Amino acid sequence: MSDGTCPPAEETFTEPRPALRAPPTTVVDHGALAALVHRLAADGVAGFVVCATTGEAPLLSDAERVEVLGTIKSATTLPLVMGASGSTADDVLRRADAAMAHAPDAFMVTPPPYLRPSQDALRAFFTTIADALPAPLVVYDIPARTGVRVELDTLLALAAHPNIVGLKDCGGRVEQTEALIADGRLQVLCGNDDEWFSTRCLGGAGAIAASAHVRTDLWVAFDRALAGGDLAAGRALWRQLKPLAVGLFDEPSPAPVKALLAAQGECANELRAPLTTASPNLTARLRELVAALPARA
């Protein structure tokens, strides 16, 4: 093909080829998962988000996702938000229908990854899903992973839908965050851990935070201080915790979080390919940051 052209497909792919799928090299440790849920609940978290970024959801089969939700449902009575993202509304609703076997309290959905739909298309996508979902919808704006931003006007339009109740905000635009909080129709939950302090101070409803897996007691104390108006206590805890929140994202998530949980004996330090474990240097630095934190909240 030196002339830069490509021959018709029927001339190239005439031989049968088997559909290949490498089996996963790891299995879900449901015992460790249930124990982690018990510990996090005892440390005071308000609820759980299941099968989102930190839970390695894109690397789980649909059946595994439902099994994970079932394990967590059996381990806690706290509210559960189920991740159900997909490339089409039909994909999302199929996953949501399967998850309803364990009755999550809400669903969280990103824009379709890679496709970069227009804002009109995003409004139609989320509206179609919200119309059909049997539980409330939390929109997950994370342009770094999906390739498209959910703009302010789009979110304000979606806020009029009675079944769209919240936003996990990883957009990184403080002006948009503030405008949505001021509008008041969506619960704005911080999704970028290093913005937790500012979002809470602006009036945000809380955070969905990977960092809160580690020293959960301190993160809960920090969040409760700000929610209760104790800015001095919240600010003091934030100054201690922020280096950890930043360091946990110095390599692709969730590898750093899992490295620390493994160091605490709470799970195995392994991820499914193509993800890899955190480097020894980062793990050592994170362990030093944790060791420097106060003994208790």
Q: Which residues are known catalytic residues?
A: 140, 168
Tokens of 41: 């609940």
Rounded Cα distance between 93 and 128, Å, is: 9
Question: Dihedral through CA 69, CA 72, CA 74, CA 75, nearest 10?
Answer: 180
Contact assessment for residue 82 and residue 98, using Cβ atoms and an 8 Å cutoff: no
Largest CA distance in the chain: 71
Strand partners, 106: 81
Other Cβ atoms within 10 Å of 184 Cβ, number: 10
CA distances from 109 to 51, 55, 56, 255 (A): 11, 14, 15, 22
Structure tokens at 220: 């809960």
